[in-house]
Amino acid sequence: MTTTKRVLLTGIKDSIPFVIVVGPFALLFGVVAAEAGLTVTQSFGFSVAVIAGAAQFAAVQLMAENAPTLVIIATALAVNLRMAMYSASLAPHFVGVSLWKRAAMSYLLVDQAYALSMTKFETEPDMNSSQRVVYFVGTMVINIPVWYGCTLLGALFGAQIPPEYALDFALPIAFLALIAPMLRTAAHLAATATSITLALLLAFIPYNLGLIIAAIGAMMVGAQVELMLERAKT
């Protein structure tokens, strides 16, 4: 087996546990989108075009509340601000990779791909950039089709899924599984505590605008704590 094929299969294998979460998460989105008035085609197209579960849920909820378009867009962008941070931290691992490849890979940048890739790259620093690209892509070989397919199933048959199945468990479980292993530094902990506190305190603000404030505040606090720690070392 070639090294490239082995790395690809490793990425696929490492991503399999996330199917347990991605499937119900996508099903739930399909159900919620249908309940919000989106057609099956719109629900499916939304998942294909955006492929960002948390942002999609936030946007659909605001659509159902007839929120202004700018508020919907701003909220979705705020929820997805973490992708910019993901990109910045992954960039050094893909030095030398062509622009078109990195552009294509950006479509696959979701929480699962980031968490798995960063863990792999940090534990195996000898991987070259080509192997890292292959591993990164491998983490989404299964999860992308599952995301598409389960969104479609949710939109088509969501009304027939019994409430006791509680598909909404997937959202908090997914983010707990992704975030918990990353809380390794004081900066991470400070940002997390800030985001939770502000999100709860500002929950009364309409259209989920409190999330935007919480996200910005968390990034500012995390960055400041990191700077303070760096200065303390010098």
Dist. CA 11–CA 86, nearest whole Å: 18
The one-character DSSP state at 16 is G
Contacts of 41 (CB under 8 A, 6+ apart): none
- Tell me: pLDDT of 193 over 60: yes
Dist. CA 178–CA 186, nearest whole Å: 18
Q: Span 186-209, mean pLDDT?
A: 85
Predicted local confidence at residue 56, as pLDDT: 87
* 211-217 long-range contacts, CB within 8 A, separation 24+: 211/58, 211/75, 211/78, 211/79, 212/74, 212/75, 212/78, 215/78, 215/79, 215/81, 215/82, 216/78, 216/81
Residue 50 pLDDT grade (very low, low, confident, very high; cuts 50, 70, 90): confident
Predicted local confidence at residue 13, as pLDDT: 95
Handedness of CA 9, 14, 20, 26 (dihedral sign): negative
Dist. CA 167–CA 22, nearest whole Å: 11
- Tell me: pLDDT of 1 over 60: no
Predicted local confidence at residue 171, as pLDDT: 59
Predicted local confidence at residue 78, as pLDDT: 77
Q: What is the mean pLDDT of the chain?
A: 84
- In the chain, what percentage of residues exceed pLDDT 70? 87
Asked whether the beta carbons of 15 and 116 are under 8 A apart, the reply is yes
**Within a 10 A sphere around the Cβ of 128, how many other Cβ atoms?**
11
- Tell me: pLDDT of 31 over 90: no
> Higher pLDDT residue, 140 or 175?
140
Asked whether the beta carbons of 22 and 147 are under 8 A apart, the reply is yes
- Tell me: pLDDT of 166 over 80: no
Predicted local confidence at residue 231, as pLDDT: 82
Residue 81 pLDDT grade (very low, low, confident, very high; cuts 50, 70, 90): confident
Contacts of 57 (CB under 8 A, 6+ apart): 29, 32, 171
Best-predicted range by mean pLDDT among 2-6, 55-59, 178-182, 190-194? 190-194
- In the chain, what percentage of residues exceed pLDDT 90? 34
Give 200-214 as a DSSP string: HHTTTSGGGHHHHHH
- Tell me: pLDDT of 149 over 80: yes
Q: Tokens 């249908």 belong to which residue?
A: 34
**Helices 53-64 and 69-79: angle between axes, nearest 10 degrees:** 160
Weakest-pLDDT range from 18-22, 136-140, 177-181, 189-193? 177-181
Q: Is 52 helix (H, G, I), strand (E, B) or coil?
A: coil
> Higher pLDDT residue, 180 or 133?
133
